[in-house]
Structure 1
Amino acid sequence: MTRIVYEIVAHDGGWAYKLDDVFSETYATKEEATAAAHDAAARQEIPGPSEAIQYQDEDGNWHEEQSSGLDRPEVEVRDADSSAGGGQG
């Protein structure tokens, strides 16, 4: 299962959440950024419809598969300053 982690960080004179190197908008308080990250995390976990997907592999071959809308990532929200690393997700 895929796991994604939103980190709460100081950013651009305020607070933001980030995923890898991508930042959210800047919020005035850490609490607002944390609430927004939890909202984004909750939306990541909402199942969608199953759909046929097509993709090309590194050899140039095309493949078609059925992608389950139930295959959602495990999501965590973590305070980047927390040494324990345990967040809520």
Structure 2
Amino acid sequence: MTKVVYKIIKHENGWAYQARGTISETFPTHDAALEAAKRAAGEQKVPGETVGIEYETADGEWHEELDPGTDRPQTVVEDK
């Protein structure tokens, strides 16, 4: 299972959260950034819908799969 860590960081003239190298928008307070990170982390856990996907491998082969949308990551919010 994949793990996504949301870290609260100082950013520009405020606070933000960072996950997988991406920084969120800037929030005016630490608490606002923390709440936004908790909300984003919670949304990552929500199962998606079942969809068909197609992809090509490096050898040029095309594959079709049914993704049930239940493979959700473990999420953690770190606030140091």
Q: Which runs of 5+ in 1 are unaligned?
A: 83-89
In 2, Cα distance between equivalents of 1:40 and 1:75: 9
Q: Percent of aligned positions with the same letter in both sequences?
A: 45
Aligned partner of residue 48 in structure 1, secondary structure: coil
Aligned to 2:43: 43
Q: Where has structure 1 moved over 4 Å in runs of 4 or more?
A: none
In 1, Cα distance between equivalents of 2:64 and 2:36: 35
Aligned to 2:2: 2
In 2, Cα distance between equivalents of 1:60 and 1:77: 39
Please report the TM-score for the alignment, with normalisation by the length of structure 1: 0.83
Moved more, 50-59 or 34-43: 50-59
Aligned partner of residue 76 in structure 1, secondary structure: strand
Larger RCO, structures 1/2 (Cα 8 Å, 6+ apart): 2
Q: Which runs of 5+ in 2 are unaligned?
A: none
Show CA shifts across 1:18-65 (max 9, x none): 112211000011110000001111111111211111111122211111
